[in-house]
Amino acid sequence: MKEDTLTSENTKMSKDELLKLPDSTLLQMVEKSAGHTGADFSAYLSCDFSYSYLTGELKRRGYLNGWHKAGWSAKASIEDSHEPEIITLGKKSENESGRRITLTASKDVADAWRNLTLPLPDKQSITDAALKRFIDDVKAGRVKFEFRFD
């Protein structure tokens, strides 16, 4: 971790500042805090949050304990994690009829979805895969909703 990430002993890093840091810095903070994950964590890293808050943020970003990105091979590093995860789409069976549902999305999202699915012969398969993955992520706690009315 860059030594200037944490400024001085009198200035503590806030939770908001932590949320703006890249994954690599958070991982370095976890590594640096080894042996100081209890009550002395905040003083050791000069921050106003706990070790569990830091690790919770990593989990929210898709990391698993042992601090590797979910869905990536163990040999992949943070820097080369740009390799895409493969989702295999299959042709739907004849027993699997589609049902029309109405979803409302912003213009940007609707346009992006239209452009993404335009070249695909079976739009139901990608819609099913996308929605199922999102639903599974919510059920597994990998995605949590927070509503802010600022």
Domain end among 69, 98, 126: 69
Tell me whether residue 78 is in a domain. no
- Quick one: 51 and 13 in the same domain? yes
What pLDDT does residue 74 have? 42
Q: Report the chain's C-alpha Rg in angstroms.
A: 20
Tell me whether residue 12 is in a domain. yes
Question: Distance between CA 125 and CA 42 in Å, rounded?
Answer: 47
Report how many helices (DSSP H) and strands (DSSP E) the chain contains, helices first: 6, 2
- Quick one: 63 and 100 in the same domain? no
What pLDDT does residue 34 have? 86
Tell me whether residue 79 is in a domain. no
Per the structure, the complete domain to which residue 133 belongs is given by 84-150
Question: Distance between CA 27 and CA 73 in Å, rounded?
Answer: 17
**Per-residue model confidence as pLDDT tens for the chain (150 residues):** 444 444 445 688 999 899 888 888 888 898 888 888 888 899 999 999 999 899 888 888 887 766 656 554 444 444 444 556 677 776 666 666 788 899 999 999 999 999 988 888 788 888 888 898 889 888 888 888 888 887
Question: Distance between CA 61 and CA 70 in Å, rounded?
Answer: 9
What pLDDT does residue 76 have? 45
What pLDDT does residue 104 have? 94
Tell me whether residue 101 is in a domain. yes
Domain end among 69, 98, 123: 69
Task: Answer yes or no: pTM beyond 0.85.
Answer: no
Domain end among 37, 69, 101: 69
- Quick one: 63 and 90 in the same domain? no
- Quick one: 12 and 44 in the same domain? yes
Number of domains observed in the structure of the chain: 2
